[in-house]
Each structure stands twice: as C-alpha cells, then as structure tokens.
C-alpha cells in the first residue's frame, strides 16, 4: 500500500501551555531537517494541533520512516490514507479496501475509533464506529470486534478531509531539539558518552562536544572513531560542533609532577576545566558526561565530587544510575555500539596507574595540583588555542 501522508503524533508538547507553538515550530523544523536524509520531496504542515508530512511524488518509505524515527518529540508516526468526504458509502469503501490491503489474513479482532473534529458531519463518532464496524464485518466475515484489546485499532478522523490509519510506528519520544538550550558533551571513544549525549539531546537540548586527543598515545583512528560517534549522535541531536583538544602535553606534565595514582582524577579535573571553557564560549548551559556511579575508579562518589568541584556549571550525568548493560542496550538502539567497541583507545593506558585512588581526598588532590603551578596555565592556554573545531552532521 502506498501512503502519501504521515500523521505525526507528539506527546509532551501538548501540555506546554502558551509555549506550545514554540515547541511545535521547533518540531516542524527538526522534521524538515531530518527528512533531507530521505529520498523524496516533502511538505511538513501544522494543522489544528496536528503535524502532517505530505510526500510530494515518489519517495522511499523506509528511509522516510527512519528519518522521522530520529526526531526527538515525535511519539508516533502514522502512515495515513487521506480521502475527501464524498459521503458515508464512499468512506466505508475506502476503509474496506484499506483493511483488505493492510491485513491480508482478515481474521483479526478490530475496533473502529472515530473522531469527529468537524462537527457538522452528519453522523456522531459513536454512529460512525458502529456503522463502519458493521460494514467491515460484512466485507470480512473472518474478523471480529473487540473493543477492549483489539489487534487492529482503526482510527478515522473526520476533519476537512478524512484520515484513516491503524498503524502507529513508535517515534524517538522526548522533546524537539532546540527547545531546551545547549550543553557541552565530553565525548570519548567509549560506549557511555554517546549514550549520555543522546539522552540529554532527547530532552530537547542542542549538543556540542569536546574530545581529548593525546597523540602519539592515541591514534588518528581513535580520533576518527570519535568523529564517527559524534556523527551517530548528530543523527538525533542535529549538527554538533566537535572540539578536538590536544591534551598530550598536559597529560605528560601531570604524569611528571603528580603521584601516579592521582593521575586520572587530576586529568579529569583539567578536562572539565577545558570543557567548561568551551561551554561558556559557545553559550552552553551545562556539561554532559557519561559517568555512572562506581563504574570505574574515577566514577566513585568521591571521585565524582573531586572532578565536579572544578566546574561552576551544572554537570549532567544522565547515566548516573544505569548499569553497564542498560547503557549497552541504549547504545545498541541508537546504532553506536559497533563503533564504540572498535579497539583503538588503549594506547592511553600508560597514563592509568595500576591502583588509582578510589576515594580521593580533595585537599590532597589540590596540593598535588599545586605542583603544576609553574607551567599548567600556559599548557591549558595552548591546548585551548590549538583546539581543532570540526562541524559534524
């Protein structure tokens, strides 16, 4: 069956009161952007609290649905049949041919759910339900009505035109990107940080990202992998400005000056400082990390407190209560997992102590950082100045 129109269902936007139109406009904008990836020409229109995507001419159904599934704020995607109101008999015929094509077995249970937005239509919703149900039963004797748990929920909406659909393809949910400000994601090559970016972006937040590169201890391929991951997140979040910071000299300096078991914590503190710098520079309202309590030494409550201390901005940690498997599940869902597990990262392991501190004492950490006083400001300044900015979309 070929559909010419999709009805887009959206959820939470509906409850946003007077700001509702802002959210709807953002959603329309995001849908238009996402559809550029699909083959075909589309018209996206807002009408009576609904969003419709009209397909102008030939288009690729799978690609279109896939593009729409990547738009935050979309709860459901319904391929609809649109027909002019040419009397009840004509409507019944259209409905019967719709069911005939969509459900070849014709032995399911069903329920008609009519909605009469145009109140001058000669039948009430209840009458339409009953009358259409009867016509369907006549046409397909193998089908039965079940008003509680039908296998097919046939929606018929009477507006200027009549919309018929029964299939709701689940969307990504969340809020349209751009309705909730911007945040800076600390992106590594691992499994967690792309998922964290996805989760925050899902709440309508635009994303920029920062990656700490340590050549020659990490390779060009490790960097390419991070760009690839940013691209995967950008399929949901929209374009990302990726900041690639050369962190080698800072790392080596910390390595020389500070106790090795504190390396990771001190390194992370400098990463946060640099990330915050770029966040402020680009108008982000917070930082995002993929941390989850207790996952590694640097993610114990004490370590998180120690890294958190250097930032004045809020740090969002959407995975904080997730188990690894739960993170992996989302990573698989958004198509990042395969890329995340490519093994390029490990050359950095010389900077990881065999027994890193798990309960860092802030006073001791601050004292260790004091040993960096001579050069660290210059090194941070150079790192910021030499940062490469890559537009990823």
Partner 1 sequence: MEAYLDNSATTRCMDSVKDIVVKAMTEDFGNPSSKHAKGVQAERYLREAREEIARTLKVSEKEIYFTSGGTESDNWALIGAALANRRAGNHIITTAVEHAAVLQPMAYLKEQGFEVTYLPVDRQGCVRLEDLQAALKKETILVSMMYINNEVGTKEPVEEAAKIVKEYNPQILFHVDAIQAYGKYRIYPKRTGIDLLSVSGHKIHGPKGTGFLYIGEKVKIKPLILGGGQQKGMRSGTDNVPGAAGLGLAAREAYSSFEEKLSHLAAIKERFLRRVAELPDTVVQGQAADGGGAPHIVSVSFLGVRSEVLLHALEERGIYVSSGSACSSNKKLPVSTVLKEMKLESSLLESTVRFSFSVFTTEKEIDYCLEQLEELLPMLRRFTRH
Indicate the residue among 141 and 216 with the shorter CB distance to partner 1. Answer: 216
Report CA 271 to chain centroid distance, whole Å: 25
Q: Output the smallest distance, CB 260 to partner 1, in A.
A: 7
Helices 248-257, 376-385: inter-axial angle, 10-degree rounding = 160
Q: Output the smallest distance, CB 213 to partner 1, in A.
A: 11
Q: Output the smallest distance, CB 251 to partner 1, in A.
A: 9
Indicate the residue among 18 and 354 with the shorter CB distance to partner 1. Answer: 354
Q: Output the smallest distance, CB 84 to partner 1, in A.
A: 55
Indicate the residue among 350 and 362 with the shorter CB distance to partner 1. Answer: 350
Q: Which of residues 225-264 bind partner 1 (CB under 8 A)?
A: 252, 255-256, 260
d(CA 5, CA 82): 7
Indicate the residue among 109 and 246 with the shorter CB distance to partner 1. Answer: 246
Indicate the residue among 41 and 338 with the shorter CB distance to partner 1. Answer: 338
Q: Output the smallest distance, CB 109 to partner 1, in A.
A: 50
d(CA 234, CA 185): 12
Q: Output the smallest distance, CB 352 to partner 1, in A.
A: 8
Instruction: Draw the binding track, 332-351, toward partner 1 (x: CB under 8 A; -: no contact).
Output: -----------x--xx-xx-
Please compute, for residue 341, the number of CA atoms within 13 A of its CA located in the half-sphere on the CB side: 6
d(CA 161, CA 168): 20
Composition of the chain by helix, strand, coil, percent to 5: 45, 20, 35
Indicate the residue among 168 and 353 with the shorter CB distance to partner 1. Answer: 353
Provide long-range contacts, Cβ within 8 A and 24+ apart, for 92-95. Answer: 92/131, 92/132, 92/135, 94/162, 94/164, 95/132, 95/135, 95/136, 95/154, 95/156, 95/164
38 SS3 class: coil
Q: Is 307 exposed, middle or buried (0-12, 13-18, 19+ CB in 10 A)?
A: buried
Q: Which of residues 27-46 bind partner 1 (CB under 8 A)?
A: none
Which of 220, 210, 218 minimizes the C-alpha distance to 187?
A: 210
Indicate the residue among 60 and 388 with the shorter CB distance to partner 1. Answer: 388
Indicate the residue among 215 and 294 with the shorter CB distance to partner 1. Answer: 215
Indicate the residue among 329 and 346 with the shorter CB distance to partner 1. Answer: 346
d(CA 243, CA 186): 10
Which of 13, 113, 162, 4 minimizes the C-alpha distance to 73?
A: 13
Instruction: Draw the binding track, 260-299, toward partner 1 (x: CB under 8 A; -: no contact).
Output: x---------------------------------------
Conformation bin of residue 34: beta by default, left when phi > 0, alpha when psi is -120 to 50: alpha
Indicate the residue among 97 and 386 with the shorter CB distance to partner 1. Answer: 386
Number of residues near partner 1 (by CB under 8 A): 16
Q: Output the smallest distance, CB 333 to partner 1, in A.
A: 23
> What are phi and psi for residue 281, nearest 5 degrees?
-60, -35
Q: Output the smallest distance, CB 248 to partner 1, in A.
A: 10
Residues 162-188 as b or e (16 or more Cβ within 10 Å = b): bbbbbeeeebbebbbbbbbebbbbbbb
Beta-strand relationship, 152-158 and 41-47: unpaired
Q: Which of residues 165-224 bind partner 1 (CB under 8 A)?
A: 215-220
Q: Output the smallest distance, CB 143 to partner 1, in A.
A: 52
Cβ atoms of 204 and 210 within 8 Å: the answer is no
Q: Output the smallest distance, CB 342 to partner 1, in A.
A: 9
Q: Where does this chain bind partner 1 (CB under 8 A)?
A: 215-220, 252, 255-256, 260, 343, 346-347, 349-350, 354
């Amino acid at each position: 069956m070929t559909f010419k129109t999709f009805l887009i269902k959206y959820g939470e936007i509906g409850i946003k009161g007077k700001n509702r139109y802002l959210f709807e406009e953002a959603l329309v904008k995001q849908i238009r952007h996402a559809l550029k990836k699909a083959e075909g020409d589309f018209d996206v229109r807002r009408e009576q609290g609904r969003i419709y995507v009209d397909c102008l001419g030939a288009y690729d159904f799978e690609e279109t649905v896939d593009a729409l599934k990547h738009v935050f704020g979309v709860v459901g995607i319904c391929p609809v049949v649109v027909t002019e109101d040419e009397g009840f008999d004509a409507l019944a015929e259209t409905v019967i041919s719709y069911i005939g094509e969509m459900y070849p077995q014709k032995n399911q249970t069903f329920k008609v759910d009519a909605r009469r937005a145009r109140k001058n239509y000669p039948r009430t919703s209840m009458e339409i339900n009953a009358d259409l149900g009867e016509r369907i039963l006549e046409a397909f004797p193998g089908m039965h009505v079940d008003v509680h748990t039908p296998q097919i929920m046939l929606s018929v909406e009477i507006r200027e035109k009549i919309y018929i659909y029964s299939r709701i393809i689940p969307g990504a949910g969340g809020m349209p990107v751009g309705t909730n400000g911007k945040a800076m994601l600390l992106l590594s090559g691992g499994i967690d940080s792309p998922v964290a970016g996805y989760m925050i972006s899902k709440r309508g937040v635009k994303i920029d990202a920062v990656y700490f590169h340590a050549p020659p201890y990490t390779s060009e391929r490790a960097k390419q992998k991070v760009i690839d991951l940013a691209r995967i997140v950008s399929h949901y979040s929209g374009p990302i400005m990726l900041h690639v910071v050369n962190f080698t000299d800072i790392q080596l300096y910390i390595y020389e000056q500070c106790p090795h078991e504190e390396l990771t914590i001190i390194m992370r503190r400098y990463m946060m400082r640099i990330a915050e710098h770029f966040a402020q520079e680009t108008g982000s309202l917070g930082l995002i990390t993929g941390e989850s309590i207790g996952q590694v030494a640097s993610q114990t409550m004490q370590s998180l407190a120690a890294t958190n201390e250097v930032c004045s901005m809020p740090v969002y940690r959407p995975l904080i209560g997730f188990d690894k498997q739960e993170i992996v599940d989302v990573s698989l869902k958004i198509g990042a997992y395969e890329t995340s597990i490519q093994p390029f990262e490990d050359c950095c392991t010389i900077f990881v102590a065999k027994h890193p501190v798990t309960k860092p004492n802030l006073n001791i950490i601050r004292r260790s950082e004091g040993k960096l006083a001579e050069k660290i400001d210059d090194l941070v300044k150079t790192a910021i100045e030499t940062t490469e900015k890559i537009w990823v979309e």
